[in-house]
Amino acid sequence: MLLNAAEVAKHNTTSSCWIVINGKVYDVTPYLGQHPGGAAILVKQGGRDATAEFRTVHSPDVLEYLPSESYLGDMDPAAVASLSTVSSSRPATLSASSSSSSSSSPLLTPSASSTVNGPPHIAHCVRADDFEAAAKGVLSDNALSYVSSSANSGISLAANLSSWSRISYRPLVLRGVQHVSPRTAIFGHASPFPFYLSAMGQLGRSHPGGEVEFVRGLARRGAHGLISTESTQTMEDIAAALTDEQQKLASKPGPKEATNEFPPSVLHFQLYCHAKRSITASRIQRAKAAGFKSLWVTVDTPVLGKRTSDRRIQASEALELGLEQAAEQAAFGRRSHATPDHFAPALSWADIAWIKEAWGGPLVLKGVQCAEDAQMALKHGCDGILLSNHGGRQAHTAPDALTVLLEIRMYAPEVLGKLEIFVDGGLRDGADVLKAICLGATAVGVGRPFFYALGAYGARGVERCIDILAEELDLGMRLLGITSLDEARPERVNATRLLNEMWRPEKSRL
């Protein structure tokens, strides 16, 4: 059934809200009260073509989970084009109250549209944290809120950032450091650096090219990347972009040794387990078929943490449209960028067996925060653990990764050497990577700086951010007096300050 623009444009209120995505018309009225991004963003797009907005935060996959009755029909391209003109000429109007339903579906959240100000010249980015200031001239307040948000009052994020400075080096001198190599391997796949690009959801908020642009940047430097379930492009398209970029690099003219400066990049998949096991199993099979090399199961998100900044933004948006009830609900987390069934609060250690069997390759638990769970991961046959508090976005006052690594060294030393141990959270200097390596980590994940770099400069920004971290890492090795990561040992660091605050078993009952 073909719908005309005039009819669709009428449905722009809270009592009847239609949106167009990829030429298809959907009635989202029943979801206004439940929508993860709040009702305001849907009403703003009511009676309009919402395709561009949709693509900034969602993969096309999410449309598969909409109830069939929400699909109303198609529009031809000419009608869609005229719709944009008709709809954009009028403000959205509101009915007295919004409708609600027990059903929910992830559709739209605020976009990362550019501002009139552009970023400074990329030459001004000398440190990884310079990209944040650069991105502020490009990203919207919504996008900046999304990437910078932290749990509750921000204590977990602050602890992540400060933890790296609370370990100092014990440099060696006169060690002949004219030639150094930071090369390593992650699950047998060569990596030019002991750091990788962390999983970040909704990269379409950062750049129109989203994850594809992100992957093209990391491929040019041979870096490993972790791709989120919450990507705005399909995992198949993301994997294909890596292959395409690698083929372009291989066909470049010039000396062969120059084109092979870096080993080929590898992608790994970060899995959110859905409340429905069938959806989780489907994601696993698709990731396997797409060629991802390892599966990182997120275990620190049985429910979504309190993202304070996000809640304030969503409340403000609702108030702008007169949706007072929706605004009040937003402050209590009833409007978030993920629906309740998106997560699996019932997930337990017993589920690791079937996930491991379904995947059939290296399996990492993402979000381990204590020594006991490191031991449990080993017991259940995992291949690696990521020590992480989700970028300070989940539990209030969660431990930073370096402190958990020290705890494992002290109380679960049997894990070292049997599991590949990764850490993330708060790293902003490539030289600090060595601190984690000295304490037994395989590699360090870096997230937010790459979101900002992508937003400000696209793939070129991703390349430059990698280059900055890599140069700091190289200098760090030379000034520490080591020539390879094999020489990065515990005695090369002083972690006393973190050790003083590390958890220890109670010796008596208080």
- Per the listing, tokens 């409708």 go with 99
Helix, strand, coil percentages, rounded to 5, for the chain? 45, 15, 40
Please state whether 23 falls in left (phi above 0), alpha (psi between -120 and 50) or beta.
left
Backbone angles phi and psi of 227, in degrees to 5: -105, 135
Cα 58 from Cα 204, distance rounded (Å): 8
Bridge-based pairing state of the strands 71-74 and 24-27: antiparallel
Cα 249 from Cα 252, distance rounded (Å): 5
Cα 270 from Cα 228, distance rounded (Å): 5
Please state, as a whole number, how many other Cβ atoms lie within 10 Å of the Cβ of residue 264: 14
What are the structure tokens assigned to 257, written together?
């040794």
Cα 383 from Cα 194, distance rounded (Å): 17
Q: How buried is residue 311: exposed, middle or buried, by Cβ count under 10 Å (0-12/13-18/19+)? A: buried
Of 12, 3, 4, the residue nearest 89 (C-alpha) = 12
Do 294 and 361 meet the contact criterion of CB atoms below 8 Å apart? yes
Q: Three-state DSSP class for 54?
A: helix
Cα 419 from Cα 416, distance rounded (Å): 6
Of 215, 245, 219, 247, the residue nearest 231 (C-alpha) = 215
Length of the chain: 510
Catalytic residue among 11, 224, 390, 396: 390
Do 80 and 20 meet the contact criterion of CB atoms below 8 Å apart? yes
Half-sphere exposure of 82 (CA within 13 A, CB side): 10
Residue 390 known to be catalytic: yes
Do 366 and 297 meet the contact criterion of CB atoms below 8 Å apart? yes
Which residues are tagged catalytic?
390
